[in-house]
Chain A
């Protein structure tokens, strides 16, 4: 008997619940902290981005139409399934340069973030929604609604906890997401896609595009069917001309400290709807 051959994983994109390679056929090399080769990761093109936005748009009304309670259940399920695979995530974080202790701590935080935002699903409306006093015979109230399809540019580090810190609040209100994960450490984001695919998250709600952020950003910001973009993980010295791309459809552009948690990270991606309901007889 010879020695058993290694089975290497092909790190692919995640679009509409499926794992396609990039339509361009291109890949990028991911190297470990010591410079050694780790894996070839699919390099998403603008057409992959177009497909991902289409998938996200297709999934949005169903995701927003579910009960807040059900969305909470599904986000909690993400935590459960990640917990069962934490050793794989830890190995990948260590491969990309974390110490074992840091990786374990990051996993704790990443999983807890799902639980934290799962809880917010059916509660944030009560915190940010209002009943407004008006000078007339109307019951006037304001409720948050999801803005639609959101592009999430995840922070480079921490690659896993940072991504979830930005992705989870987008999902809470019923948005769907196109995520561009960390370029230097994309492995755990791809494994996260596998977790998403097995956690009752409907196909298309989360789409993951590994690739150079600067290649994809102009297309994401210029895409008229994307309602908001989270640039938390984008370079701070982004060319203003690229940012101007977002103006075309009055896209909401958000940048936040990845450590920010809470209802305002959720309402960043909400539209507030005010209803005037006649009362009296």
Chain B
């Protein structure tokens, strides 16, 4: 029983269900080293042909996101069309992995993406704060799944996490996973609020042990978003987790990734940390909205040899 884990006495040990009660060890993170390592991923020289392949891969890994209070079925319809056919002038480009919307927009998104490869992801569980009772959060998740969501993005309770109630955070994720049913569960750590790499690593291990299919950096709703060192910290946690349990967990980076250049920096990070097996939409996602346009402009530059501008792609 996971909730019997004494949260204060063993702050860094978690017990994944699949290991039959054998605890996981969370290794400490060397802050200086991880930041230095993360910087090296931005200095690779990527040649033209690889660039194009990387951009297409990045597009196929995007969760095209709109999380605005002013979202309407009309906006979601435009988003879905763009997700299915990112560039109408170049139908050879892949669709994005998913569209990511609020629960009330899931029926629209499901209708507009029907028949395509684009999945519907919904934030749920009192996103973006997670500050509601468990019952309300679970109802939110069930509601979104019933409306047609293939993937659910929830955020961990940072309040419980900071006060050392790891058991409760763990149980909440387990309950959320059950509520998801067939839908995939992505667990947002909101790394911008966790403070240290050790905390990020601990939260990553906890979320994976509790059954997350993906761990995700941020909601995009706080000032500090995904950064390369944070993504590296989480990727290393996944690597450790896979080594210790054999279970596959994906990584989603979100928030602040706007340029094609940033996207291939993250692809390099994933390739060199988790290996090419993770370079697929099943195991790596980028939550973004404006990134897609920048990737399209970069592809056009590669194809035509001319720089393009925002006038030549659709408005988000």
Contacts and interface: CB of A to CB of B under 8 A. Distances in A.
Interface of A: 49-50, 53, 57, 219, 222-225, 245, 248
Given A225-B309, A245-B306, A248-B306, 9 more contacts: A49-B307, A50-B307, A219-B307, A223-B307, A224-B308, A224-B309, A224-B311, A225-B307, A225-B310
A248 B306 CA distance: 9
Interface in B268-316: 305-312
6 contacts: A53-B309, A224-B308, A225-B307, A225-B308, A225-B309, A248-B306
A25 B305 CA distance: 22
> Which of A57, A222, A224 has the most chain B CB atoms closer than 10 A to its own CB?
A224
A225 B311 contact: yes
A57 B307 CA distance: 13
A222 B305 contact: yes
Contacts of A57: 309-310
A interface, over-half SS = helix
Nearest to B305: A222
Contacts of A224: 306-309, 311-312
Contacts, number: 26
Contacts of B305: 222
Interface residues of B, number: 8
A58 to B, nearest CB: 10
A222 B310 contact: no
Interface of B: 305-312
Nearest to A219: B307
A248 B311 CA distance: 13
Nearest to A245: B306
Contacts of B311: 224-225
A224 B312 CA distance: 8
Contacts of A219: 307
A225 B310 CA distance: 7
A60 B305 CA distance: 25
A53 B307 contact: yes
The 7 residue pairs across chains A and B that have the minimum distance between CB atoms:
A225-B309, A222-B306, A223-B307, A224-B308, A50-B307, A224-B309, A224-B312
B221 to A, nearest CB: 24
Contacts of A222: 305-307
A245 B305 CA distance: 11
B253 to A, nearest CB: 23
B191 to A, nearest CB: 28
B290 to A, nearest CB: 13
A110 B310 CA distance: 35
A194 B312 CA distance: 34
A247 B27 CA distance: 59
Contacts of A248: 306
Nearest to B307: A223
A61 B144 CA distance: 40
Contacts of A53: 307, 309
B306 A223 contact: yes
Contacts of B307: 49-50, 53, 219, 222-225
A223 B311 CA distance: 12
A219 B305 CA distance: 9
A53 B308 CA distance: 10
Nearest to A57: B309
B264 to A, nearest CB: 15
Nearest to A220: B307
A50 B260 CA distance: 14
B13 to A, nearest CB: 48
Contacts of A225: 307-311
Contacts of B306: 222-224, 245, 248
